[in-house]
Structure 1
Amino acid sequence: MVQVQIDIEHYKQLAQQKQGEHRKFLAGLKKKAPKDLDKIVQQVHQEVFEEIDCTACANCCKSLGPLFTEADITRIAKHFRMKLPVFEDLYLKVDEDGDKVFQAMPCPFLGEDNLCSIYDVRPKACREFPHTDRKKIYQINHLTIKNTLTCPAAYLFVEKLKERL
């Protein structure tokens, strides 16, 4: 299969142009969500990821550092057979919010082929991104809007959800 590159800048511009529209739409869901919203969200999420191949983009891995939980650190350090402090010294820092994040981006585990070398043990934040399959999606409107600027799939998700509703 030939991999089609995703024009990240194009999607970012579209997302910037539609920020107000998306914000208004998602706020409307908070006020009056259809009864079967969770089901619709799952269907739209599914459709988007049949269309978008994350490995043709990997913008999240290049620009957004995940927050590391203690469970993430333990699991990944174990994967590398490293002691926790060694793993943390090598890869992590504590940010201004007191969260453990990568010292630098892009992700040190991202290969040139846009594949994750620790995919099976990747952080929870990476597994859940872009959070478009969440129940009660309206509870994370601010995050969804923010993610549309980084993730073409998040942008398409909001656009398709708007069409559906």
Structure 2
Amino acid sequence: MDLENFQKESRSDFPANKKLLDRLKRLKPKELDQEFENLHEEVFEEIDCLECANCCKTTSPIFLQTDIDRLARVFRQKSAAFIDEYLERDEDGDFVLKYSPCPFLGTDNKCLVYEDRPKACREYPHTNRKNMRGILNLSLKNTLICPAVHKIFRQLDKEYRK
């Protein structure tokens, strides 16, 4: 995966993707969910996250208390010790990683805690869920992080271009 080229393309496409949001918001919620789900399936048949791992290299998931407790058990730590070692609060008061890339990302782009990873990691990039309308702004931001989301937006733009 050529992440440098992806970053250039995704930044270049961002203004058009932002305009696309207005068109997508006019769709019926079920229709929007179905469009994303179909494209999610199609795009992830072509894209292998292990070739990229840009999400793990550049951003942090939100860690819920259940995620913290689960990972603390994996590392045989108390939750407070896990928080002290790996996490900080962001501007919204959520727990996020202190630094990137993710300390649990292996050199082969595999997650070292895959079976116990946070809920946000399990669900990323959130393009195959219900109520896509509620996370369209997040999905727009994810076009700059995830090549799959970028590709989904490109497909949607072709389909819903004025």
Q: Fold match, TM over 0.5?
A: yes
The answer to whether the aligner puts 1:148 opposite 2:152 as a matched pair is no
User: Structure 2 length as normaliser, TM-score?
Assistant: 0.90
Structure-1 residue corresponding to 2:23: 28
Is 1:66 the counterpart of 2:61? The answer is yes
Match of 2:72 in 1: 77
Contact 1:72–1:122 (8 Å) recurs in 2:
yes
C-alpha distance in structure 2 between counterparts of 1:79 and 1:160, whole Å: 40
Matching residue of 1:107: 102
Report the TM-score when normalising by structure 1.
Answer: 0.88
**Aligned-pair CA distance for 1:138:** 2.5
| 2:11 alignment partner AA | Q
With 128-137 and 68-77 compared, the bigger mean Cα shift is at 128-137
Query: Does the 8 Å contact 2:144/2:150 carry over to 1?
Result: yes
Distance 1:42 1:121 in 2: 25
| Higher mean C-alpha deviation, range 114-123 or range 11-20 | 11-20
Aligned to 2:91: 96
Q: Percent identity?
A: 47
* Distance in structure 2 (CA, Å) of the matches to 1:93 and 1:99: 8
Shift of 1:13: 1.5
What residue ranges of structure 1 are gaps of 5+ in the alignment? 1-5
Secondary structure of 1:155 counterpart:
helix
**Is 1:129 aligned with 2:124?**
yes
| Aligned match for 2:35, one of 40, 59, 75 | 40
Gaps of 5+ in 2: none
1:156 Cα offset (Å): 0.5
Alpha-carbon separation, structure 2, partners of 1:160 and 1:121: 33
1:28 Cα deviation (Å)? Answer: 1.1
SS of the residue 1:93 aligns to? strand
Does 2:13 align with 1:12? no
